[in-house]
Amino acid sequence: MGTALIEYSWMDAELLARPSFAYPLLQVVDKSTLRKVRGFCAGLELKFLNGKVIARHEREVCLRYAELMLDPEHRADPSVASRFKEPIASIARELFAFYRGFTVLSSPLDDAAIFAAILLSRYTYFHGNTVRWMELLLDYFSDIMEKAAWAVPEEVIGATGAQSRQLLDLPMCMKHYVLIRHKLLEETDWRRIRIALMYCKGIGPKVADAYLLFVKRVRDAAPVDRNLLKLLTKLGIEGLRVPDKRFCLKYSCSECPIASSCARKFMSDVLGEYAGLFQTIAYVHRDIFCEPFRCNLCPVRIFCSAYS
């Protein structure tokens, strides 16, 4: 068994994995240990200890892959907030200080599984439904990309206890992905990738941007949904809307007639390459502070209308 040391300051493995679309591929052993149990480099163990991650696997390529998964060079750090524009710079500074060292955990070489998880996360609770659906599918299929493109088996649908829209739509979207996958993986222009994905019915800007962030590692891609807008509004950033697929397919961001109110463009403009990281932290933050209403402990409560 080989080992590798990675400089990495975030210590809570469970919280790091929670917002990741790679979560169904992982086992949270404890708060300091993750194990990859499915997909590329299955068996890879990540132990978070004293400002380092100890990666363990028998293959050298998997030890190197651990660093790609963690992306340690692109982490939350309050000092980078000086690059941002107000009104979000002050908020980002406090959040990046509180979540110092946090990164976007992913598994880019499991692109088909990540894409399927993104698709199945629409309009539902990720940890209540999506993770369960993905575990069933990944255990049923040896190759989710090829098999799920044709049909989701009755055994999987029956095990979920419901005829979910997400599972029923999955084959259509996966078939589209199979047809364009090779070009997407080679393409470097994120705009072309985004448009190619959205040509499929059922794939909108949020799915496309999540794919850009978690598979292509486009760091300024922030998957925007109404939960993010609700948090931004409470923090005093108002008047934004989710991207509109009709406009995204027709216009570039700079030419779009609704660009001034588009949250995706706003995030990219004011946060640059930290937009995706900010959105990921916002997801975690809502789970920890907003939904349980722990306002008195929230590091950004001075900006929040719900607290005042």
77-101+220-308 sits in which CATH class?
Answer: mainly alpha
Domain boundaries, the chain: 2-73, 77-101+220-308, 109-214
The 8 Å CB, 24+ separation contacts for 230-237 are 231/282, 231/285, 231/286, 231/290, 232/263, 233/305, 234/290, 234/304, 234/305, 234/306, 235/91, 235/300, 235/303, 235/304, 235/305, 236/87, 236/303, 236/304, 236/305, 237/87, 237/88, 237/91, 237/266
Answer CATH for 109-214 from 1.10.340, 1.10.357, 2.60.40, 3.30.1380? 1.10.340
**Whole-number Å distance between alpha carbons of 210 and 206:** 6
Q: Which pLDDT value is given to residue 87?
A: 85
161-187 as b/e: b if 16+ CB within 10 A: eeebebbebbeebbebbeeeeeebeee
The segments of the chain whose pLDDT lies below 50 read none
Predicted TM-score (pTM) of the model is 0.95
Instruction: Note the pLDDT of residue 51.
Output: 92
Q: How far is CA 251 from the centre of its chain?
A: 25
pLDDT of residue 103: 98
The pLDDT tens digits of the residues spanning 147-199 come to 666 666 666 666 665 567 888 888 889 999 999 999 999 999 999 999 999 99
Q: What is the pLDDT of residue 147?
A: 62
Q: Distance (Å, rounded) from C-alpha 305 to C-alpha 239?
A: 15
